[in-house]
């Protein structure tokens, strides 16, 4: 006799089905149709390519490390130190992630050029070699990506059981409690963020290209852009994916499952570190000056030199509305699927769980052009598929393909902080799984879900690689419009367009942040 599957099996099953169709199939399709025996000869990397791969590894690791060094302490500050106007401070500290990395790189080159601000202030020409270097690329990317670490660390810090810290404080000083109790318990969130930043950095070739840093990602791009050889591009992407696997495995080995037991009990209050308020405020202001105020001031300075912006800004209204609508839909769809995948991952243990983590990382690291070409191959055909192709739904499918894996990884880290015992208690009391999720689990993940949505919104809003391949003719998102306009426009216009893009993404998020803050205050 047929029995309906349990609600948990059905919901997680649907999420897995969406994940397979959106994320796995496009890549698998391209692998199947384009790989031939000859293509694998490209896997034998020459000395130059090995050097590029090494550069990429340095860029990824350096950025993950520096962004964590900046972001994780700020996460601790936001979670455990009482500060005035904290909601505003959080919003400001998170704002750099809204800046497109390429635009921050551009601001950096304006700043460090021989006629830039730094030269003017120091009274001598700066060595251009330093402006255009690997450390500069690491710095630029870290200043953009550190909010990811900050937000996920804050979420983790807020979920730690205060009783453990209180007990430790009886026998140990605060610094030691932070080092031995607080930070290890926050580690899943911190590591998930670092992994996310690593993959974002190694996928990036706009900033390295601008700062003349040679990276391996450009090899994959070249196979597409100069040779139109899909097969070679897919094969050349494999070492990049392998690099991500290695880092994910090392991260998993370092982290293990020892921290999954970290739980916050209701009714306990986390330990505060308010005596560090002054130095925390100073650090936050310093970060804001370098990561937000400086790039914005440089862009503003450039934009003010524009003679006429009318022609450039004309007709951007439709693209603006389109982008906000698509980013809202895309982020909501991504989080709606990723939350169940993250839940399933968090509740699985052992090698299966670690394998899923690696799959998430690898799929997120797949170059966007491969995803885009795979989506075209899969959906551009007659019949029901053809109805979807050529509509905005392709953009949403592209966002799902690109960002479900990384959002699921982040939400898995968040789910780990929700005790399994809460679900068990609910089940014993007779609550169904859906009710338990709605009333017990998801409310405890509220902050994590909001953070994941904001990060997904930002990623979706700025997505270009897939969008440019699948956007319906006649329509464009704001980033596509900006990037197709900036060629052959003066740098002042480019700066003005960048500021417009930042404003468009910042305003709705600020309004959302303000609304959430008001609700929390009530």
Partner 1 sequence: MLTPSRVLPLHAVIALALVATIGCRSSTPPQDADRTVTIYVSTDRVFSEPILREYEKRSGVKVNAVYDTEETKSTGLANRLLAEKARPQADVFWSNEPVRTLVLKSRDVLASYRSPNAKGIPEALVDPEGFWTGFSARMRVIAYNTNAVKPNDVPQSIFDLADPKWKGQIAMADPRFGSTSFHVAALYALAGDEKMDDFFRSLKANGVRVVDGNSVVRDLVARGDVKVGLTDTDDVNVAVENGQPIAMVLPDRNGLGVPVMPNMVSLIANAPHGEEARKLIDYLLSADVERQLAQSEAVQIPLHAGVPGPKHIPSIDTFKPMTLDYAKAASRVEDLTARLATILGL
**In whole angstroms, what is the distance from residue 11 CA to residue 231 CA?**
36
Among 20, 43, 167, 225, binds partner 1 (CB under 8 A): 225
Q: How far out from the chain centre does Cα 298 lie?
A: 25
Q: Which residues contact 394 (CB under 8 A, 6 or more apart)?
A: 375, 379, 388, 470, 471, 472
Of the two residues 9 and 279, which places its CB atom closer to partner 1 in the complex?
9
Size of the residue set binding partner 1 (CB under 8 A): 80
Would you give the distance in Å from CA 325 to the centre of its chain? 20
Residue from the set 35, 113, 422, 499 that interacts with partner 1 by CB under 8 A: 113
190-209 footprint of partner 1 as x/- string (CB under 8 A): ----------------x--x
154-183: contacts with partner 1 (CB under 8 A): none
Q: Which is nearer to partner 1, 19 or 102 (CB)?
A: 102
> What's the closest the beta carbon of residue 116 comes to partner 1, in angstroms?
8
User: Can you tell me the distance from the alpha carbon of 375 to that of 378, in angstroms, rounded to the nearest whole number?
Assistant: 5
Please tell me whether residue 50 binds partner 1 under the rule CB under 8 A: no
CB of 466 to partner 1, least distance (A): 10
Note whether 373 binds partner 1 by CB under 8 A.
yes
Question: Minimal distance in Å, beta carbon 140 to partner 1?
Answer: 14
381-400 footprint of partner 1 as x/- string (CB under 8 A): xx---x-xxxxxx--x----
Please, what sign has the CA dihedral across residues 493, 499, 501, 507?
negative
Q: In terms of C-beta distances under 8 Å and separation of at least 24 residues, what long-range contacts does 385-390 make, across chains too? A: 390/472, 390/473
Least distance to partner 1, CB of residue 332, Å? 5
Q: Does residue 4 bind partner 1 (CB under 8 A)?
A: yes
Q: Contact 79/241 with Cβ under 8 angstroms?
A: no
For position 226 contacting partner 1 by CB under 8 A, the verdict is yes
Q: Is 314 exposed, middle or buried (0-12, 13-18, 19+ CB in 10 A)?
A: exposed
What whole-number distance in Å separates Cα of residue 406 and Cα of residue 365? Answer: 9
- Smaller CB distance to partner 1: residue 319 or 410? 319
DSSP secondary structure code for residue 205 in this structure: -
492 binds partner 1 (CB under 8 A): yes
Which residue from 133, 281, 348, 489 is in contact with partner 1, where contact means CB under 8 A? 489
The DSSP line for 117-180 is HHHHHHTSPPPHHHHSSHHHHHHHHHHHHHHHHHHHHHHHHHTS-HHHHHHHHHHS-HHHHIII
Closer to partner 1 by CB, 16 or 245: give it. Answer: 16
Per CB under 8 A, 187 contacts partner 1: no
Nearest-angstrom CA–CA distance, 411 and 417: 10
CB atoms within 10 A of CB 347: 17
Of 143-151, 179-187, 219-227, 237-245, the window that binds partner 1 (rule: CB under 8 A) is: 219-227
Please write down the long-range contacts of 227-232, taking CB distance under 8 Å and 24 or more positions apart.
Answer: 230/30, 230/34, 230/373, 231/34, 231/35, 231/36, 231/38, 231/39, 232/39, 232/42
Q: Is 21 an interacting residue with respect to partner 1 (CB under 8 A)? A: no
In the chain, what's the furthest Cα-to-Cα distance? 84
Q: Which of residues 424-483 bind partner 1 (CB under 8 A)?
A: 432, 434, 437-438, 464, 468-469, 471-476, 480, 483
* DSSP code of residue 486: S
Taking CB under 8 A as the rule, does residue 255 contact partner 1?
no
Least distance CB 422 / partner 1 (angstroms): 18
Choice between 332 and 517, CB closer to partner 1: 332
Range 265-324, binding partner 1 (CB under 8 A): 307, 311-312
| Spatial distance between the Cα atoms of 303 and 300, rounded to a whole number of angstroms | 5
Residue 352, interface with partner 1 (CB under 8 A)?
no
State in angstroms the smallest separation of the CB of 158 from partner 1. Answer: 22
The reply to whether 491 sits near partner 1 by the rule CB under 8 A is yes
User: Please, which residue, 114 or 421, has the CB nearer to partner 1?
Assistant: 114
Confirm or reject binding of residue 115 to partner 1 (CB under 8 A). Answer: yes
For the bound state, the minimum distance from the C-beta of residue 84 to partner 1, rounded and expressed in Å, comes to 34
H-assigned helices in 20-46 = 25-34
120 scored as a contact of partner 1 (CB under 8 A): no
Q: How near is the Cβ of 368 to partner 1 at its closest, in Å?
A: 10
> Minimum Å distance from CB 442 to partner 1?
8
| Stretch near partner 1 under the rule CB under 8 A, chosen from 113-121, 159-167, 265-273, 357-365 | 113-121
For residues 161 and 269, give the distance between their C-alpha atoms in angstroms, rounded to a whole number. Answer: 8
Measuring CA to CA, which residue among 28, 140, 158 is closest to residue 446? Answer: 158
């Amino acid at each position: 006799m047929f029995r309906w599957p349990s609600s948990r099996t059905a919901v997680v099953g649907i999420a897995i089905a969406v994940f397979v169709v959106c994320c796995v199939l496009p890549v698998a399709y391209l692998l199947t149709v384009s790989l031939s025996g000859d293509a694998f000869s490209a896997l034998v990397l020459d000395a130059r390519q090995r050097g590029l791969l090494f550069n990429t590894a340095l860029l990824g690791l350096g950025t993950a490390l520096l962004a964590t060094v900046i972001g994780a302490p700020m996460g601790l500050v936001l979670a455990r130190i009482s500060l005035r106007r904290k909601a505003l401070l959080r919003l400001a500290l998170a704002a750099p992630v809204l800046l497109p990395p390429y635009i921050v790189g551009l601001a950096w080159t304006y700043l460090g050029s021989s006629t830039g601000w730094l030269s003017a202030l120091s009274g001598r020409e700066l060595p251009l070699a330093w402006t255009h270097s690997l450390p500069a690329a690491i710095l630029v990317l870290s200043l953009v990506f550190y909010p990811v670490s900050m937000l996920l660390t804050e979420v983790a810090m807020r979920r730690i059981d205060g009783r453990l810290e209180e007990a430790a404080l009886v026998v140990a000083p605060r610094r030691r409690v932070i080092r031995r109790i607080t930070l290890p318990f926050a580690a899943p969130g911190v590591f998930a963020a670092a992994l996310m930043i690593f993959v974002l950095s190694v996928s990036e070739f706009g900033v390295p290209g601008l700062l003349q840093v040679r990276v391996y990602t450009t090899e994959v791009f070249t196979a597409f852009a100069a040779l139109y050889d899909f097969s070679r591009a897919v094969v050349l992407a494999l070492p990049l994916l392998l690099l991500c696997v290695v880092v994910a495995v090392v991260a998993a080995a370092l982290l293990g499952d020892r921290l999954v037991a970290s739980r916050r009990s209701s009714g306990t209050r986390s330990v505060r570190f308010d005596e560090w308020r002054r130095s925390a405020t100073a650090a936050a202001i310093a970060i804001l000056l370098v990561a937000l105020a400086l790039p914005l001031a440089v862009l503003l300075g450039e934009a003010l030199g524009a003679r006429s912006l009318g022609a450039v800004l004309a007709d951007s209204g439709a693209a603006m509305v389109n982008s906000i609508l698509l980013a809202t839909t895309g982020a909501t769809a991504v989080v709606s699927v990723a939350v169940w995948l993250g839940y399933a991952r968090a509740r699985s243990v052992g090698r299966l769980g670690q394998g899923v983590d690696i799959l998430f990382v690898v799929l997120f690291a797949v170059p966007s052009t491969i995803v885009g070409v795979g989506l075209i191959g899969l959906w551009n055909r007659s019949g029901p598929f053809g109805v979807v192709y050529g509509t905005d739904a392709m953009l949403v499918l592209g966002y799902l393909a690109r960002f479900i894996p990384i959002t699921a990884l982040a939400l898995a880290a968040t789910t780990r902080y929700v005790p399994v015992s809460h679900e068990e208690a609910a089940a014993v009391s007779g609550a169904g799984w859906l009710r338990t999720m709605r009333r017990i689990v998801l409310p405890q993940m509220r902050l994590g879900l909001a953070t994941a949505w904001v990060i997904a919104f930002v990623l979706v809003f700025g997505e270009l690689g897939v969008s440019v391949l699948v956007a319906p003719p006649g329509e464009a998102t704001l980033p596509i419009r900006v990037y197709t306009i900036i060629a052959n426009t003066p740098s002042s216009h480019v700066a003005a367009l960048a500021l417009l893009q930042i404003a468009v993404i910042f305003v709705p998020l600020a309004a959302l942040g303000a609304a959430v803050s008001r609700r929390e205050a009530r």
